[in-house]
Amino acid sequence: MEKPVDRPMIKKLSKIFKNERQAPWRSQLQWIGLLLAGLLVVVLVASMYMIINTRTALAGREISFAKRDIINIQHQISDLQVQVASQLSTQSMQARAAAMGFVPAAPDEFLVIAVPGYTARSVVNLGNPAPLPAGPVILPEYTQSLFDWLVNRGQK
C-alpha cells in the first residue's frame, strides 16, 4: 500500500522555489554571508593561534637572549675581577709604591701604638654562613591525639 502524497507540502515548496527564482541573489547573499562568517571564524582562530604562538616564540627568544646576556655578563665580571686583581697584585702595587718614592720600613723605624678598639683583620667572607643542620622534625600528626587535632582544626 502506497503512502498518500502530501499535497499541501508540495504546494509550499513550489512557492518557495518560485520565490527564489523571482530573487535568486537573496539566497546567494545568504550563502556568501554564511561562508564569510565561517571564514571569519577560521581566520580569527588562526590569528589568535598565530598571535599566541608568536608571543610564545618571542618570549622564548627573549629568555634565550637573556641567558646569553647573563653568560656574557658573567664573562665580563670574571674578566674585570682578573683585571682588578692584576692592577692590585703585589708586584704591581710594589712597583707603584716604589715609583711614588715609598721604601720598605726598617725594623727600627716602626712605632708600635696601642689603639683602643682596634681589631685585627679577619678572614674574608665571600658567602653566607652555612645553615645549621636541621634537627629531626616530628610532624604533629604523629604526636597529637584526635582531640588535639580537632581543637587545632577548630582554632584554625
Partner 1 sequence: MNLSPRWRYQLILFGIGLLGVVIIFKIISYQTSAQAKVLLNGNDYNLTTIYPPRGEIYDRYGNLLAGNITIYEIGVDLNTIRVNKNAETIALALSVNAGLDYADEMKKIQEADPSKNYIVLKDYVPATDAEKAIAYKKTLVDQGIISGSSSLSGLAFKAHYERYYPEGSLASNLLGFVTQDNNGYFGIEQEYNSLLAGIPSIVWVPTNPTRAEEIPQVEPGTTLILTIDREIQSAMEDILADTLKESGSASGTVIVMNPRNGEILAMTSTPSLDPNNYLAYSKVFPESTPFNRAIGQAYEPGSVLKILTMATALDTGSVKPTTGFLDTGVIVVGGVPINNWDGGAWGSQDMLGCIQHSLNVCFAWIATQIGTQNFYAYMQRFGLGHTTGIDLAGEATGRLKLPGDSDWYPVDLGTNAFGQGVSVTPIQMVMAASAIANHGLMVQPHLVYATVEKGIQQTIKYQVAGNPITPQTAQVENEMLATSLEKEASLALIPGYRVAGKTGTAQIPVFGGYDPNMTNASFIGWGPADDPKFMVYIWLEKPKTSTWSSEVAAPVFKQIAEKLFVLLDIPPDQVRLQLAGQ
Which residues of this protein are in contact with partner 1, per CB under 8 A? 24-25, 28-29, 31-32, 35-36, 39, 42-43, 46, 56-57, 59-61, 63-64, 67, 71-72, 74-76, 78-79, 81-82, 84-86, 88-91, 94, 105, 107, 110, 112, 114, 120-121, 123-131
Angle at 122 between CA 125 and CA 109, to 5 degrees: 140
Residue 150 C-beta: closest distance to partner 1, Å: 42
26 Cβ contact partners less than 8 Å away, ≥ 6 residues apart: 20
Q: Which is nearer to partner 1, 127 or 140 (CB)?
A: 127
Residue 86 C-beta: closest distance to partner 1, Å: 4
Q: Tell me how far apart the alpha carbons of residues 134 and 129 are, in angstroms, rounded to a whole number.
A: 14
CA distances from 61 to 56, 57, 67, 72 (A): 9, 6, 10, 16
Report which residue type is found at 37: A
Q: Which is nearer to partner 1, 22 or 155 (CB)?
A: 22
Residue 102 C-beta: closest distance to partner 1, Å: 15
Residue 13 C-beta: closest distance to partner 1, Å: 22
Q: Which cell goes with 2?
A: 502506497
Residue 25 C-beta: closest distance to partner 1, Å: 6
Angle at 39 between CA 34 and CA 40, to 5 degrees: 95
Q: Which is nearer to partner 1, 15 or 67 (CB)?
A: 67
Q: Which is nearer to partner 1, 66 or 151 (CB)?
A: 66
Residue appearing with cell numbers 616530628: 138
- φ, ψ dihedrals at 82, nearest 5°: -65, -40
Q: Which is nearer to partner 1, 12 or 68 (CB)?
A: 68
